[in-house]
Chain A
């Protein structure tokens, strides 16, 4: 029995539900020597901004228990370089390309959407509303429903391509933000970006990152991501693309069951540059062993736990 790994959403067909996560796999073919891009469901690029950004001062990274903090600051050479030098190299790469765009103003989001609308090689845009390492960690577009809505609306007005809104976990209710971007015309939601965190070298009385705080990623955040994907999937009708601490095929399956239509692999690419290929192979193997014919049948298939009543519980409370 062959397992059907293909998924389809926002009008786009993907060979499998395993995508790279933005910022962990380069802009283009940087990792193609380790794993053929054709193996991935989609290649999600590192965030591109309107103008070049050199990024934050070092140190930009610190390992923490089962995870890592980063504060790269969206280092990239800008949209012009991306269109001229990067996108042409991705033609015929054998997989879907999703371009990730980031900005600090509504105007810049609109400009980037317009720039990429005519790029045939780009299957969808992922809008990074949630980088914690720019603008002093204030997250203006992902912690306020009106701002999130305005950004997605501006992108929607400038492109016919499918839009994924990438949301921050650093909010009281991610479901509210998800509903706002759905209303603004997003075709899907990517959840989650990194969690704000901090690490300290107490002997030096110094933070481990130049920016003091940064974004936490890796296996440490997987339970948080699962919970948020579950909440978002219940709150909106549009598909959810999961991200957060994935390191193996079982993790991918868990996110699908929680309600995701596809799953991104991020920090694990740093640990094992061939890992994303292994995950695709293993996903097919574990689904076949579990007699799951199509990966689509897993999406949102979570069963509610059976209710259990403790004996004489009411009597105890009344007393």
Chain B
């Protein structure tokens, strides 16, 4: 049977709501929580303590996890998509938010000497700051880490300036050419793969489903070891509602053809996903 969900439920206080890009915010929550540093791509269910007009919490991967003089702050990057994200984006400083987490399995560790390419589409970037921080902390060289960040237009390159500070390779593409080169994040990865000195050992991807489908196909063609952080509709985040079903190869999942994005994911190895179902991701 499924092991107990080992997450915590606690209350956070809105410390800042900072506009990000054309349609997003960075939500900084002051928390008094003693769990270890969050793994890259682990997530929390967030719900305004006053409900904010919706019933269920919404899942967001942790964008930043900082401990400073004022205590611990968890930050989340969110794009306003519907009533749930709108309510969270309209929080005022001091208002409280209920959190459940940390939840899910994150990206695998990156060994020193391994080249890693992160393919981010739009708000999918939210999962990557912790990836770079964990890799650098584990001894990876900054020049071995590449961010391929793509968006429709430059105003959807949320907080793009943050990544140069890590010293990593930052490559930008937009569909309309308004920033970086014209094209997609996957185009940038494709170019790197043609150069033996840049071809990554591992690829991490997060973004819209069309981009992820393309990454799955490209990874299969190129025999790249790729991992995707998936976004699905979730009811509970804790593994009991069975809403966040992801079709997977049974051999990768204890003989069962359905994985839960909240428990076995949100990160899945590209080759474990059932390809003919990939369009439903």
Contact = CB atoms under 8 A, between A and B. Distances in A.
Max chain B CB contacts within 10 Å: which of A58, A63, A77, A274?
A58
A219 B4 contact: no
Contacts of A140: none
Interface stretch (B50-58, B68-76, B111-119, B131-139): B50-58
B55 A219 contact: yes
Interface string A281-306: 00000000000000000000000000
Contacts of B6: 33
A287 B235 CA distance: 31
B258 A54 contact: yes
Given A66-B55, A271-B57, A274-B9, A55 B100 contact: no
Given A55-B258, A60-B245, A271 B47 contact: yes
Max chain B CB contacts within 10 Å: which of A25, A86, A271?
A271
Interface stretch (A68-76, A97-105, A180-188, A224-232): A68-76
A72 to B, nearest CB: 5
Given A70-B241, A72-B242, A218-B55, A270 B4 contact: no
B5 A63 contact: no
For the side of the interface on A, what is the size category?
Answer: 35 or more
A166 interface: no
Nearest to A52: B256
B10 to A, nearest CB: 10
B7 interface: yes
A62 B241 CA distance: 12
B147 to A, nearest CB: 29
Contact of A26 (B235, B239, B245, B258): B239
Interface string B192-234: 0000000000000000000000000000000000000000111
Interface string A28-49: 1111111000000000001000
For the side of the interface on B, what is the size category?
Answer: 35 or more
B242 A273 contact: no
Contacts of B183: none
A85 B1 CA distance: 6
A270 B240 contact: yes
B116 to A, nearest CB: 29
B53 to A, nearest CB: 9
A206 interface: no
A225 to B, nearest CB: 16
A52 B1 CA distance: 14
A59 interface: yes
B54 A75 contact: no
B2 interface: yes
A24 B240 contact: yes
A89 B1 contact: yes
A12 interface: no
B246 interface: yes
A273 B4 contact: no
B4 A68 contact: no
Contacts of B257: 54
Contacts of A58: 232-233, 243-247, 280
A77 B242 CA distance: 13
Contact of A31 (B238, B244, B245): B238
Nearest to A67: B55
A60 B243 contact: yes
A33 B235 contact: no
> Lowest 8 A-B CB distances belong to which pairs?
A61-B243, A270-B236, A86-B1, A33-B4, A28-B1, A26-B240, A270-B235, A72-B242
Interface of A: 23-34, 46, 52, 54-55, 57-63, 66-68, 70, 72, 75, 77, 85-86, 89, 218-219, 267, 269-274
28 contacts: A24-B241, A26-B2, A27-B1, A31-B4, A31-B5, A32-B4, A33-B7, A34-B5, A34-B7, A34-B9, A34-B238, A57-B247, A57-B280, A58-B243, A58-B247, A59-B243, A67-B55, A70-B235, A70-B243, A72-B243, A85-B1, A270-B235, A270-B238, A270-B240, A270-B241, A271-B47, A271-B55, A272-B98
